[in-house]
Amino acid sequence: MSVIEKLSKLDRRYVFLAVAIAVSLPMFFPLGLPVEVTAPVKQLYDVIEELPERSVVLISIDYDPSGAPELQPATLAILRHCFKRNLRVLVLGMWAPGVPLGMKALDEVAVKEFNKKYGVDYVNFGYRPGGAIFLVNLGRDVHDVCRTDVYGTPVDELPMMRDVHSAKDIALVVTMSMGVPGSDQWIFYYQARYRGKLATAQTAIGAPRYYPYLQTGQLVGLIGGMKGAAEYERLVKTRGFASIGMDSQSAAHMLIIGLVVLGNFIFWMEKRKK
Amino acid sequence: MKLLVAIYVAIVSLVLFDVGLIQADTHTPAEPDSVKIFPPKITALKDTPNDAGTSIDILWELSPSESLFPGAIIEYQIFRASSPESTFERVGAVPAGVSKFSDGGTEPGKPYWYKVVAVGDSQQAASEIAGPGKSVMQWFDRRRKGVLVFVILICTLIAVFIEVAKAKKGKMFLRHLPVFDAIDEAIGRATEMGKKVLYIMGQSDVDDPQTVASMSILARVAEKTAAYGTKLDVPCVWPMAMSMARETVKESFLRAGKPDAYKEDDIYYLTSDQFGYVAGVDGVMMRDRPAANFYLGAFYAESLIFAETGYTTGAIQIAGTAMVDQLPFFVVACDYTLIGEELYAAGASLSGDPIQIGSIRGQDIAKAIFFFYIIAGVVLKLAGINWLETLLRLD
Amino acid sequence: MRLQIPLAIILVMGIFTLVTAFIPAKPIADVNQLLRNWYIGIITFFIFLGTFNLARVNINKIKRRRRDWGYSFILLGCLALMLFLGFYKGRASTEEGQPFMYLYFNVQFPLGATMYSLLAFFVTSASFRAFRARNKEALCLLLAAVIIMLGRVPVGTAIWKGFPSVTEWIMNYPNAAAKRGISLGIDLGLISMALRMILGIERSYMQ
């Protein structure tokens, strides 16, 4: 069996091994390559930057632990930006397993870093079922669909919620989304009805789908995957998990390119032989 | 006695402090003494257009202090009362620089009076009371008239072509997709090998039309498996979709004349957790090695994991989704893929029902109209005419 | 009658929901709101149905000693454990430091991330196996993919500064144009599908 034949029949477990090495090596030997900020991420940063102080930003945690490596760094970076700008933050989520992730992010940023006051500077409504229907109701009457917060406190007892009744009172919504319900529902059932500002952070695999919405203005910003989160971390001047993961991602992309080139070389050699 | 007086003074002070008559000097005003907060002036109270009649727009001229003392005003607070004499209740606040507020808590036809208070760091100034303002209920959202026209047009086209198809008894040309033959081939292969058919309906619940479209293909697949006596396995992400799938499969078994072969437990709930579901389905693939895998519905990141695992088990794989970003993965790793709208059309097309076929033809004509609409819109826009572009805008 | 009543409900509700998109008046909006609340209530009920079904299917599997029944045993054990830990102290069960949260962050979190990370391995092996420049179009696709892969990571910028902007151009124009075309077809298909359902033409899920 020639080398070309052997390569064309390569056991895919060798490919898996190569990926594992490519991803893990840079964690031990970081390259620290600088991250270039792209326009969709900068757009979101600028929108938050221009919001008047004390405006309300709603962050929807629409992911679960599997999406956390890509989306949690973006959540943390956006929270940091919001609290730095003295904005008020309303957190909720349409994925039940995402609730603890939202709580953890708030604890890390709002409590430990910025010493913000619960109920005044931020609130957390936890898991909200209903998907699209919930969003239609949310835009109409926040108090009706969020009657108690994640700790069981009635909404009327939260000082911050005195001014937040409907979509009109929410300056920006950022959905951190990896599937259904997520960005699609926010675009079709919330933004299309209430016309508020909406941005999304997506897993890298889902991000390309949202570019047309960025052009139409239905989205005011888009953070795609860990790279997008790393860009946001750069904008808010922190070096978080996403920035650290960029070297691994670089290595993995280079490996894929190498393998695609190799695959095509084999294909071309085989074709010539025939 | 002195002690009693001291206690009395202390208590009185505390009470007065509590009701706010004595201001503790704990706050240092940020504004210099020269800063003065002037009141804003309400210019209009208008009914918010195109709503349920539960909102009034309050517009005002910004306080002159905004330009005289930049940064002095923190926010404007909006107060409402049902008569000029009654107590005003705060209904909301907007940051400095904003001169409009929509009060979404009104009742249609009821008069309301408003005042806007400019709030600084230590001073505030209220506008004069304005009113009455009334909200009016609207029976038609004028912003959507263009959309309404298009909805009526599309529905009419579909309805007309359903009638045409009925008249022609379904003899209407519809592109034959190779995947239709592949469905039979895949089930036939599973039957020959004595293995099961795995059917995945995607990640969405029944409120996603992709799940309903998948359900109509499931009906055909189930009918065939019932006829061939092949085992069908349908793990579900959502309990409601599971109930619907059970009804669908049961009906198909009935149609195939094998109602006794139907087993409720073959259609079961696995988990609503995306990757938990992936782990469960991959487990089924690796353990049972189904000969045919169907992935039809809304798929997200899990699409490639399914398709690659199925590839390694050597199953014939048929996929279809309207999730554009997942299509490349299915195209690469599956034998046949229904692309976008083909998913919606497949069930109707497979049924051979003239009514369903007619609806697809109507949809195709609507698509052609949209195509010309887009071309005309681009040409007119280039010529500086925006009419067509704005026709379908909602705001 | 068994068929007519559900079909009538679908017809009335479908038309009503369509009409609410154009009529903002309060009485209509209130009824719509009521229906939406019912929907949320029904979905919540279905969560119990799902859990009940999961338990039933797996208990049957254990009872009948079907192949791999051991996995069902593990599944039921985990289900019971998580349910217990999630409820035994009421709301406080899901607070930081509680066993439920410990399992969430130390078991569910890494397991979920592991499943998701499989994608990296599968994307690579699928690219190696199937990404071939068989014709000119496929070559164009391949080149675009390489540019985007380089434009999405810092190493690409280190090679050539222009990669991110070329990537953005590809995403914003060729990618968005193709997606729009497909989306338009999908949305029209969706309208047609919805109409078939409202009119009771599409009823494969009904007995």
CA distances for A27 relative to A198, A270, C151, angstroms: 34, 38, 21
Q: Is residue B27 very low, low, confident or very high in pLDDT (cuts 50, 70, 90)?
A: very low
Burial of B32 (0-12, 13-18, 19+ CB in 10 A): exposed
Report pLDDT digits (tens) over A160-173.
998 888 898 899 99
Q: For testing the chain B interface, which of C204, C206, C207 should be mutated: the one with the most B CBs within 10 Å?
A: C204
pLDDT averages per 10-residue partition of chain C, 207 residues:
84 89 87 85 85 91 89 93 89 82 88 88 88 86 92 90 90 87 84 83 70
Q: Which pairing describes strands A222-224 and B73-81: parallel, antiparallel, or unpaired?
A: unpaired
**Looking at residue B24, what is its pLDDT?**
40
The C-alpha atoms of residue B245 and residue B253 are separated, in whole angstroms, by: 12
**Looking at residue B394, what is its pLDDT?**
65
The C-alpha atoms of residue C36 and residue C56 are separated, in whole angstroms, by: 30
Q: For testing the chain A interface, which of C124, C166, C184 should be mutated: the one with the most A CBs within 10 Å?
A: C124
**Looking at residue C205, what is its pLDDT?**
67
Chain C residue numbers touching A12 (CB-CB < 8 A)? 125, 128-129
**Looking at residue B395, what is its pLDDT?**
59
Nearest residue on chain A to C122, alpha-carbon basis: A16
Q: Is residue B25 very low, low, confident or very high in pLDDT (cuts 50, 70, 90)?
A: very low
pLDDT greater at residue A177 or residue C42: A177
Report pLDDT digits (tens) over B118-154.
998 888 899 999 989 999 988 998 888 888 888 888 8
C116: closest CA of chain B, how far (Å): 7
Interchain CB contact of A179 with B (< 8 Å): yes
The C-alpha atoms of residue A111 and residue B323 are separated, in whole angstroms, by: 39
CATH number of the structural domain A39-239: 3.40.50.10160
Q: For testing the chain C interface, which of A149, A260, A274 should be mutated: the one with the most C CBs within 10 Å?
A: A260
Nearest to A66 among C116, C152, C180 (CB): C116
Among B25, B28, B29, smallest CA distance to B17 is for B25
User: Which residues, numbered 96 to 155 in chain B, qualify as contacts with chain A under a Cβ-Cβ cut-off of 8 Å?
Assistant: 96-98, 102, 104-105
ipTM: 0.85
Q: Is residue A80 very low, low, confident or very high in pLDDT (cuts 50, 70, 90)?
A: very high
**Looking at residue B21, what is its pLDDT?**
38
Report pLDDT digits (tens) over A97-125.
899 999 999 999 999 999 999 999 999 99
Chain C residue numbers touching A227 (CB-CB < 8 A)? 152-153
For the cut 50, the answer to whether the pLDDT of residue B342 exceeds it is yes
Contacts of C11 (CB under 8 A, 6+ apart): C198, C199, C200
**Looking at residue A36, what is its pLDDT?**
87
Q: For testing the chain C interface, which of A128, A133, A218 should be mutated: the one with the most C CBs within 10 Å?
A: A133
Answer yes or no: do C175 and A208 touch at CB < 8 A.
Answer: yes
The C-alpha atoms of residue B334 and residue B317 are separated, in whole angstroms, by: 5
Answer yes or no: do B209 and C190 touch at CB < 8 A.
Answer: yes
pTM, full prediction: 0.80
The token duo for A69 is 């490596």
C-beta of residue B301 within 8 angstroms of C-beta of residue B323: no
The token duo for B348 is 């109707």
Interchain CB contact of C22 with B (< 8 Å): yes
Span of A9-13, B302-306, B361-365, B389-393 with lowest mean pLDDT: B389-393
Answer yes or no: do B205 and A131 touch at CB < 8 A.
Answer: yes
B301: closest CA of chain A, how far (Å): 7
The C-alpha atoms of residue B122 and residue B44 are separated, in whole angstroms, by: 28
**Looking at residue B211, what is its pLDDT?**
92
Chain C residue numbers touching B213 (CB-CB < 8 A)? 193
Interchain CB contact of A217 with B (< 8 Å): no
Residue ranges and CATH numbers for the domains of chain B are 41-133 (2.60.40.10), 171-351 (3.40.50)
Domains of chain A, residue spans: 3-30+249-273, 39-239
A254: closest CA of chain B, how far (Å): 20
